[in-house]
């Protein structure tokens, strides 16, 4: 490495950056667009779905937080899997997470065109996706502090909008605007709180868990946090309850304002509902917010992928070219490679402009479940190698929380076989693991030669 290529990532991220990066990754299309699909499965009981999913994610993030606080490195769970479980575990964790965020990025880009078409109905979806892809890639080539600041403000904008939306919804509910449609009775008047029973509640967890993808970005940021033993625990504790409030608050307002069975999947349900409630400016404002939210999640994904490829290269599980850093301490090769792979969604949107989101989301959910499962299993091995009394941020209820999370995640994957849109992803997952194992066996000198 020459002086123009620094040998280490820069520790420039403050606590506020880390919190907003995680919020930026988790609050996006899953809430603003995908929530319509989950509401159709469970009805007003979507509130309960997010409580269940949120508890599981909190336990998993505490496990990740324990490990990241003790050993703050850029690769997070890939590094821990590599160190505490072995070479293939690190290879699998890292490359699966990289694929996950390529898919999440694709999912976000696939709905950008839908949001843009609200204002420009004749503008092609693929062109919208391409413009955002280029802009976000360029942003991620700046130094990490600039990225952290940009993501801080992008995430802050959508959080402020969610809070404003919740407050506006409460005002509408109390004031009784359009009383024929809005009201607390919507929680039980159209088939009950769980119109599709417990089965519908369970099925909704498939879509709900996609919404929580991105919270594990806290672990990725550990390698560039200026004070990880302080910022990582604080970020995890604060991010989880904020996500739950934002999701549950927003969705509660949604299902009270309008009958759940009339919420469709054509565009963001929040935009459509406020439009139909006769608030002139709200739809345009909300559409801008959901567009910003999608861009924010994609921005977080691009950040994550560059750092994961850097970590994999450190392990010898990816070509050494991904170790190259720019003068601004940015893993530019990993960023550009990930961006090039994400370009596939632009082609998909060009060929199949409708239906791309659910198909990509399904595979992303399966990959996310595998990532979370690896975190839980690796944590068991991590704890065996450490004394609990010496840990700075020990996760609760070990090892029973681990066993509970394993059962929950396997249950989510099993439930995916019950939905037409997600069934194929379950069968793709083992094939993907086989591909990764073959890649691991062949990596050797071929990877290190680059």
Q: Kindly report, residue by residue over 193-248, the tens digit of the pLDDT.
A: 899 899 999 988 988 887 787 777 777 666 666 677 777 788 788 777 777 788 88
Query: How confident is the model over 391-433, as pLDDT tens digits?
Result: 888 899 999 999 999 999 999 999 989 888 788 888 888 888 9
The mean-pLDDT minimum among 45-54, 167-176, 349-358 falls in: 349-358
Report the greatest alpha carbon distance in the chain: 69
* Cβ neighbours of 215 (radius 10 Å): 25
Supply 331's token pair: 């893993």
Domain regions of the chain by residue span: 15-448
Q: How high is the pLDDT of residue 22?
A: 63
Q: How high is the pLDDT of residue 366?
A: 86
Q: How high is the pLDDT of residue 29?
A: 62
Query: How confident is the model over 107-148, as pLDDT tens digits?
Result: 778 778 878 888 988 888 788 888 988 988 888 888 666 667
Q: How high is the pLDDT of residue 268?
A: 63
Q: Which CATH number fits domain 15-448: 2.102.10.10, 3.20.20.70, 1.20.1740.10, 1.20.1070.10?
A: 1.20.1740.10
Report whether pLDDT(377) > 90: yes
Q: How high is the pLDDT of residue 342?
A: 86
How large a percentage of the chain has pLDDT more than 90? 14
With tokens 């949604």, the residue in question is: 254
| pLDDT mean across residues, the chain | 79
Q: How high is the pLDDT of residue 165?
A: 77
- Please state the pTM of the whole predicted model: 0.82
Query: How confident is the model over 263-322, as pLDDT tens digits?
Result: 765 556 666 666 666 667 777 887 788 788 888 888 878 888 888 888 888 888 888 899
Q: How high is the pLDDT of residue 382?
A: 93
Could you give the CA distance from residue 408 to residue 395 in angstroms, rounded to a whole number?
18
């Amino acid at each position: 490495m020459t002086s123009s290529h620094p040998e280490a990532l820069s520790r420039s991220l403050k606590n506020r950056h880390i919190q907003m990066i995680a919020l930026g990754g988790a609050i996006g299309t899953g809430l603003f667009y995908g929530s319509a699909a989950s509401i159709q499965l469970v009805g007003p009981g979507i509130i309960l779905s997010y409580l269940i999913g949120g508890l599981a994610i909190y336990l998993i993030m505490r496990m990740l937080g324990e490990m990241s606080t003790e050993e703050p490195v850029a690769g997070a769970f890939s590094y821990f899997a590599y160190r505490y479980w072995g070479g293939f575990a690190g290879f699998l964790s890292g490359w699966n997470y990289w694929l996950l965020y390529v898919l999440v990025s694709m999912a976000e880009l696939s709905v950008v065109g839908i949001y843009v078409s609200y204002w420009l109905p004749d503008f092609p979806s693929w062109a919208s996706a391409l413009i955002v892809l280029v802009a976000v890639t360029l942003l991620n080539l700046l130094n990490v502090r600039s990225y952290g600041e940009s993501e801080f403000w992008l995430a802050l904008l959508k959080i402020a909008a969610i809070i404003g939306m919740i407050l506006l919804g409460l005002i509408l509910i109390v004031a009784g605007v359009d009383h024929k449609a809005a009201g607390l009775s919507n929680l039980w008047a159209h088939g009950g709180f769980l119109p599709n029973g417990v089965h519908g509640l369970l099925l909704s967890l498939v879509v709900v868990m996609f919404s929580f993808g991105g919270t594990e970005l806290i672990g990725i940021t550990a390698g560039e946090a200026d004070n990880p033993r302080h910022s990582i625990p604080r970020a995890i504790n604060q991010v989880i309850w904020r996500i739950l409030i934002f999701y549950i608050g927003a969705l509660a307002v949604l299902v009270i304002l309008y009958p759940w069975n009339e919420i469709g999947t054509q565009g963001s349900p929040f935009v459509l509902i406020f439009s139909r409630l006769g608030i002139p400016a709200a739809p345009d404002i909300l559409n801008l917010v959901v567009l910003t939210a999608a861009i924010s999640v994609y921005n977080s994904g691009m950040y994550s992928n560059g750092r994961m490829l850097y970590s994999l290269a450190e392990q010898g599980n990816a070509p050494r070219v991904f170790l190259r850093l720019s003068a601004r301490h940015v893993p530019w090769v990993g960023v550009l490679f990930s961006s090039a792979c994400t370009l596939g969604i632009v082609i998909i949107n060009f060929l199949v402009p409708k239906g791309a989101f659910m198909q990509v989301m399904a595979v992303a959910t399966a990959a996310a479940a595998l990532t979370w499962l690896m975190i839980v299993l690796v944590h068991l091995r991590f704890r065996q190698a450490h004394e609990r009394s010496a840990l700075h941020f020990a996760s609760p209820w070990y090892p029973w929380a681990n066993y509970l999370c394993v059962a929950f995640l396997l249950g989510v994957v099993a439930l995916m076989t019950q939905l037409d849109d997600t069934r194929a992803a379950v069968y793709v997952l083992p094939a993907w693991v086989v591909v990764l194992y073959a890649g691991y066996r062949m990596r050797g000198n071929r990877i290190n030669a680059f």
